[in-house]
Structure 1
Amino acid sequence: MTLRLGLGLPQAGTIYDLNSDVTAAARAADELGYDSVWVLERLMRPEQPLDDMYLIPGMPWADYFRSVADPLVTLSLAAAVTERVKLGSAVLVGPLHQPFMLARALGSLDAVSGGRVIAGLGTGWSRDEYAAAGADHASRGRSLDELLDVCEAVWGEDPASYQGERTRFTPSAVGPKPAGRIPVLLAGSADRALRRLVRRADGWLPSQIDNDGLAARRARIAELAAEIGRDPATLSTTVRAFVQLSDKPVDGERRTFQGSLEQVVEDLAGAARAGADEVLLDTQLSSDGIQELIASAKALREAVTEAGL
């Protein structure tokens, strides 16, 4: 099976122009043969955060979080200038959004793009962002479950209705409907998250994971799927990879997807062996502007093709 490749769109930091650079990257991905383009979600960079970044003790929040463009606005820009690539989120922090409004926005984006949306969702980790959005951090798991319920209702046949904790609407016509079935991918690696995944989702969307960890969690997903009688082959795996290319090989210990072009291609081959169906290559944080980002995307695409992945 051929490894699919996605490209992260340049929405974070201040060196990119939201309009011209996002559209240039999206067009390049479409022309270079990438399968998808992706966005992330980050609301803010608090000066005195309640949590360390990614909940890693002592890790400060990255400076590029000072400016991260809205993910759905970014995907809309990409949709307008592309014809083929899928449009994915890795990830939308679901509980930060009012469920009905997010489900309707995703359905509309899928309709106008011709059925190209991939809804990657997670619960996030920042209590600052939950406070800013007026959302309850303690009930984030239940909120994500409700969002999934609401999406099923809004994207399904009319009349649609739902009665939940945050969302209540009587039988109604809700359109436009998605052009097709929107795949739902869920993030998270804890057992609770993986149990939700095998019950509710089409695939798994891990981030910053090495290939040994990927293989181990894929095995756990297979076990949990078997417990409920689901074929694990029906669950895709899309890995978000923060790529940092160097001119020379990195000696000694290195982070996965960091190093020379040859080393990164080796990591991609390892990811495929570990169970990845698609890898989202994100170079926006390590590139010095849009031209370098596109050049890296081209080099990676060509190297992966030459390697027969």
Structure 2
Amino acid sequence: MRIGLAVPQYGRFASLSSLRLVAREAEAMGFAALWVGDRLLTPLEPRDRYPGGDGAIPEAHGVFLDPFAVLSVAASITSRVRLGTSALNACWYAPPLLARSLTTVDQLSDGRLDVGLGLGWSSDEYAAVGVPWKSRAARYEATLDALEAIWHSDPVAYANELWTVAPSRIHPKPVGRPPLYLAGFAPDALQRIGRRADGWLTATLPIRMLTAMWDTVRRGAEAAGRDPEALRMILRANPVITGEAGAAPPRSGTVAQIAAYLNEAAAAGVHEIILDLQHTAVDDQHLLKLAEEFRSRLSPG
């Protein structure tokens, strides 16, 4: 099991000093990857429930740095760790611009990028960027098609009812082929992952639910004539650490409790853990201390 860390990006950690310190120290500690997320705004009267906890948007999400800029800084001060997005809201971006931003990070990191994309959950954010909430799944599929064309064709030509790329040279290309991971929990989303992605970005779910969804991904791969053994399951954990053992892991509990769940998830098939400690750490040193505690308790594979 590979162990990654969400790099400072939001809330009290949205600063250059935190980003520099934690990125450098995480690489030195032996973390395998640094990851960013993608949030745009916090509506005062949200139309949609946040998909976690009690449904309220976390207060820390009120300040959120741009994921491409954060990864570019992380690329400049590290040399080994992978750099991933978990997950970009793919439909917010026109495919040529998304491809350019991701390719730039891949180039600046000498080919260390892991691309993670999702549909998002907030219709308020879609409205703010002028993208229709309706038919977003079809837009998502078209975005994936366009990215494939831009990254892996030369010259590039792509057209549908949303975008037209006239026959063009679009350079640079990524270094090799960045792994593509997709988020989602609905049956159609899980089948899409099996059909066209390198793996699944998931969250802390009950183990039975996690494995049942993973089976759907694998069946989708088999139906598409792909090797399910080649796919990876990447789980993001956003725990609130408590001083005493509680009854709500993996969402909250002691480091030992959360680590026990994560090791159980690894035994059930998870290939990588992304630890996001920005909801629970009080400062940079606390975040690094918790990160080291988790790393010492998790079983690398």
Answer whether TM exceeds 0.5 for this pair: yes
**In 2, Cα distance between the equivalents of 1:100 and 1:166?**
12
Q: CA deviation at 1:79?
A: 0.8
Q: CA deviation at 1:173?
A: 1.1
Once the two structures are aligned, what percentage of the paired residues are identical?
Answer: 36
Contiguous gaps of at least 5 residues in structure 1: none
Matched ranges for 1:50-199 at <5 A: 50-54=47-51, 59-199=55-195
Partner of 2:41: 44
Q: CA deviation at 1:230?
A: 2.1
Mapped pair 1:16 → 2:13: yes
- Partner amino acid, structure 2, of 1:4: R
Contiguous gaps of at least 5 residues in structure 2: none
Contact in 2 for aligned 1:257/1:263 (Cα 8 Å) = no
Partner of 1:233: 229
Q: Over residues 175-197 of structure 1, what are the superposed CA-to-partner deviations in whole Å (9 max), with x where a residue is unaligned?
A: 11111211110000111101211
The total of aligned residue pairs comes to 301
Q: Mean alpha-carbon deviation: is it higher for 233-242 or for 265-274?
A: 265-274
Q: Does the C-alpha gap of structure 1 residues 72 and 271 become closer, same or farther in structure 2, counting only changes over 3 Å? A: same
- What SS does structure 2 have at the residue aligned with 1:48? coil
TM-score (norm 2): 0.95
**In 1, Cα distance between the equivalents of 2:300 and 2:115?**
29
**In 1, Cα distance between the equivalents of 2:106 and 2:253?**
36
**In 2, Cα distance between the equivalents of 1:213 and 1:298?**
29
- Partner amino acid, structure 2, of 1:286: T
> Which of 271, 293, 300 is residue 299 of structure 1 equivalent to?
293
Matched ranges for 1:269-288 at <5 A: 269-288=263-282
- What SS does structure 2 have at the residue aligned with 1:88? strand
Q: CA deviation at 1:119?
A: 0.8
- What SS does structure 2 have at the residue aligned with 1:205? strand
TM-score (norm 1): 0.92
Q: Does the C-alpha gap of structure 1 residues 297 and 55 become closer, same or farther in structure 2, counting only changes over 3 Å? A: closer
Partner of 2:5: 7
**In 1, Cα distance between the equivalents of 2:150 and 2:207?**
37
Q: CA deviation at 1:42?
A: 0.8
- Partner amino acid, structure 1, of 2:10: A
Q: Does the C-alpha gap of structure 1 residues 150 and 77 become closer, same or farther in structure 2, counting only changes over 3 Å? A: same
**In 1, Cα distance between the equivalents of 2:13 and 2:223?**
46
Q: Mean alpha-carbon deviation: is it higher for 177-186 or for 150-159?
A: 150-159
- What SS does structure 2 have at the residue aligned with 1:49? coil
Q: Give the root-mean-square deviation of aligned CA atoms.
A: 1.7
- Partner amino acid, structure 2, of 1:5: I
Mapped pair 1:266 → 2:260: yes
